[in-house]
Structure 1
Amino acid sequence: MGRRLAIAIAVPSVLALGYLAADVADVVPGFLTAEPAPPVAAPFLTASPAPSSSMEGLALTDGTGADAPLPSPYQLQILAQELRDDPRTGTSTNVSVIDLVTGEPLADLDADEPQVPASTTKVLTAVAAATALGPDHTLSTDAAWDPGARTLTLVAGGDILLAEGYGHHGDLGTASADEIAAFGGPSVANGYAGLADLADAVVDALGTDLGTVTVAVDTSDYPGPAYPESWPDYALQQGYAGRVTGIAIDEGRLTDDAYAQRSDDPVGDTVDAFAALLEDRGIDVGTTVTRTASSGASVVASVESAPMSDIVTYLLRDSDNTVAEQVGRILALETGRKATPSGAAAAVTEALDGLGVDTTGLQLYDGAGFSDRNRITPNQLVDALRAAAVSDDTSGILDWLPVMGVEGTVADRAGTDDVVGRGLAKTGSLTGVTALAGLIETADGRWLVFATLADGMPPGQPRPRAAIDEFIGALAGCGCEG
């Protein structure tokens, strides 16, 4: 293939931010379990040395050649077996490690066996959406005007990260300290487009002398269910997930907290907020309703979401369950299916098939990994990651995954000098399930793609996580040529 991975992480010169915020699927032991989760502690900052790195940027580059030594498959197989034999994991710990450049298998412990993947499911959702739709794909929230019925309809286009006021459109220069403290930085995706922008565009198109208008919202493209049947009730109650609707302000959060309580009616809240913005601009609003846009309506204004690349970065870095499920449904709709969990599963599977991933045994019941009915093999995870990484269109996945020891749900994972800033990964946790999938650079400069899935264990995350972290550290420190 004539390619080599050159990775670099730009690290601030100031102290790195520490994180104690519970993560939806990956950080706090007990979260995403069948048991009641403990109350979420308020996040606070801790000072720690910033990981050092002389590298800047993150990309696959042409013309450099795969000149770093390839690790010995025999040595890596020994490392994988040691992980399985570790008393902190168990015999159901299955592993796949492949070479990024060539795709050559380097370690395989039942890597074709489907297992409960937890939040590593989000890897497949993100890869499928980004490859099938393209990283520049955006979601349009439209306003359609029917002059005969004097009805202005807010047409849901799948953006559940709308700002109630003006969107930031990618300019995060005014991000608050609280936003920066959460997970490793503010999200480009959240609040990219705003209802105030749309209200201004409506006034520019129609003026304000419209008489008394009805403001409607059309969510017919997103039939639900708003809360997947496979998701536990406590996740909604404790703010770990929200209702998956065709349109929402900040995923229906009722406060600015990452794990805020969620609205019972995010669609209704959104249309009410839009109506209030129109009234502020001089349009006389009579009532707000939920209905399909009439045949006499035409689109007069639109706002666009952040690109899909930023949306999948958000769902991978912060392990956002609501957005992950929504992205799967968007993919379903854009590929001619209903925006439902089953439609999303079919769309993700089709996209992976198109990438050459063997989907035998793949079972998906949600796009986030909450469902314990999901089944994914370690090979499906590594093959999907590699397929995206080596494609010119989606090599940006190497920017989308969170950096180990630096950000997101892996900010405190495998934090040794061998690993920090040299690995990218997505975590996964359910009761009795611990998973990790991503990429790691060896001591010789070779990039590997890995997936470890462990299920059927006693509840509790610290022990299996520590064992997996040591395995990743061994891969990173490997100078084990054949």
Structure 2
Amino acid sequence: MRPARWRRSTHLVIGLVVLVLVAAVIGVAAVLTSGDTSARNTDAVRPQPAPATAAPGVQALADDTDKPSPAGLAAALAGPLADPNLGALTGRVTDAGTGAELWAQGATIPMLPASTNKVLTTVAALATLDRDATLTTTVLAGPTPGLVVLHGGGDPTLSAAPADKPTWYKGAARISDLADQVRRSGATVTAVQVDLSAYSGPTMAPGWDPADIDGGDIAPMESVMLDGGRIQPVSAESRRSTTPGLDAGRALAAALGVDPASVTVASGPVPDAREIASVKSPPLLERLRQMMNESDNVMAESTGREVAAALNRPQSFDGAVAAVLTQLRGVGVDTAGAVLVDSSGLSVDDRLTADTLDGAVAAAVSGEHPQLRPLLDVLPIAGGSGTLSNRYLDTDAGKAAAGWLRAKTGSLTAVNTLAGIVTDKSGRVLTFALMSNNAGPTGRTSLDALAAVLRSCGCGG
């Protein structure tokens, strides 16, 4: 029997911060005189300070820095691991500096990952796409006079909000811009269709609960939608639409003075159509930041399809999963045991191991694949941002980890997961994946307490 989900089924992981030092020195010299020309010109010949420079980065620690040991870490974790609210728990912790495994428990057992699955989608996207990549929505001249076709290119951030109103997604393209371009093209519009052919296959993944549409966690995956399918564009509690593509077409029709009720879905691509308008999504890195911080399922699914398109695979659930796993293996992540049906982790049919999750984070920390490093920047910060903004603030141990831990969270009913990085008190960076299934009523806070130990423990010896 399928377990019921929390109403908000995408949620928090703990995050740990890899702190970077940025040095900036600014020198200012000025001589102010009222009438002495030689004094006013002194700066022209005086040696000037070197320009200020900034060199952020993960800095190597000295060889004599205390290194955590498997025995020390196991001893520190023993108490929190005894908490029965953790249910069935698997995990792995790795020293990012050496790549050595420090602790593991059932790390090769496939478990429900919930939204930590988005870590894999993010790593695959960074491995495949330019960080400035955008998605394009176009309007095409239809095959009959007066008909225009809204062609979806996979951008879920498109908004019908007026130009002076906020949108859910930062930097979102707008229907009003498309309508302005259509009018400037000189086209006389009497009818609007929507072309959703860029995506193929089912619009809902196996293991998704249709109730999560009203619950606000997901919308049917179509290649054009407004504000991720939200009915109330700037409300965090908004339910989603069951017809997101048609909604976008109706919004364009309304903006062009056409009856929205007359909008239809095209039977397929429009051959040899002339483009008369286009808008672009925010760049990939901004979309990944919003997806990870808000744990946005729709954004994750569209990103998986973006990876699939780059590999010439179908933009479907199956095509996206195959593309993501292929790209993970390409950067050295062990995907053994992975069984995925979506790119978001919303499905109760998904399974991942702690080895795979920790391996994906470790690949981003490693210097071998610098294109993956932005993963660390888009992970929520414990007690500071995204789905971790209101966690790690209720206990002394949690407060000690706040700001030092960055991670992606995952929550389904009786499922709590975390995958990310933490800097321990000796200054060493650790990567970790913790997966709790069949958890008790305080399972999430119990998992946070377990992860907080990674910060407080030097764990040498």
Is it true that 1:471 corresponds to 2:420 in the alignment? Answer: no
Cα contact 2:148–2:189 (8 A) shared by 1: no
Change (3 A) 1:155 1:148: same
* Aligned-partner SS, 1:393: helix
* Aligned-partner SS, 2:251: helix
Task: Return 5+ residue gaps in structure 2 as ranges.
Answer: 10-17, 23-53
TM-score (normalizing by structure 2): 0.81
Cα contact 1:213–1:285 (8 A) shared by 2: no
Match of 2:215 in 1: 238
Match of 2:362 in 1: 386
* Aligned-partner SS, 1:93: strand
Is it true that 1:402 corresponds to 2:402 in the alignment? Answer: no
1:139 CA drift (Å): 0.7
Is it true that 1:339 corresponds to 2:303 in the alignment? Answer: no
Distance 2:348 2:58 in 1: 44
Cα contact 1:406–1:412 (8 A) shared by 2: yes
Matches within 5 A, 1:103-114: 103-114=99-110
Matches within 5 A, 1:88-237: 88-90=85-87, 92-146=88-142, 149-165=145-161, 187-188=169-170, 192-204=172-184, 206-207=185-186, 210-237=187-214
Cα contact 1:166–1:193 (8 A) shared by 2: no
Q: Percent identity?
A: 33
Deviations 1:284-341 (A, max 9, x none): 9995332134223122321110111121212211111222222222322332122221
Match of 2:84 in 1: 87
Change (3 A) 1:287 1:83: same
Change (3 A) 1:60 1:477: farther
Change (3 A) 1:80 1:109: farther
Change (3 A) 1:286 1:86: closer
Match of 2:69 in 1: 72
Give the letter for the 2:241 counterpart: S
Is it true that 1:306 corresponds to 2:282 in the alignment? Answer: yes
Cα contact 1:217–1:290 (8 A) shared by 2: yes
Greater Cα shift, 399-408 or 335-344: 335-344
Cα contact 1:278–1:285 (8 A) shared by 2: no
* Aligned-partner SS, 2:193: strand
Give the letter for the 2:270 counterpart: S
Match of 1:368 in 2: 344
Change (3 A) 1:329 1:445: same
Is it true that 1:429 corresponds to 2:411 in the alignment? Answer: yes
Distance 1:230 1:223 in 2: 18
Deviations 1:59-95 (A, max 9, x none): 99559433353212221133344443332224x3111
Larger relative CO (CA 8 A, sep 6+): 1 or 2? 2
Distance 1:37 1:481 in 2: 39
* Aligned-partner SS, 2:407: strand
Match of 2:329 in 1: 353
1:54 CA drift (Å): 9.8
Match of 1:14 in 2: none
* Aligned-partner SS, 1:474: helix
Give the letter for the 1:120 counterpart: T
Change (3 A) 1:85 1:162: same
Cα contact 2:111–2:437 (8 A) shared by 1: yes
Match of 2:31 in 1: none
Distance 2:364 2:59 in 1: 19
Change (3 A) 1:360 1:36: closer
1:359 CA drift (Å): 0.9
Cα contact 1:240–1:259 (8 A) shared by 2: no
Distance 1:220 1:159 in 2: 13
1:141 CA drift (Å): 0.6
Distance 1:81 1:405 in 2: 24
User: Please, what is the CA RMSD of the aligned residues?
Assistant: 3.0
1:96 CA drift (Å): 0.6
Cα contact 1:154–1:216 (8 A) shared by 2: yes
Is it true that 1:418 corresponds to 2:400 in the alignment? Answer: yes
Change (3 A) 1:102 1:409: same
1:266 CA drift (Å): 1.4
Distance 1:285 1:118 in 2: 38
Cα contact 1:212–1:285 (8 A) shared by 2: no
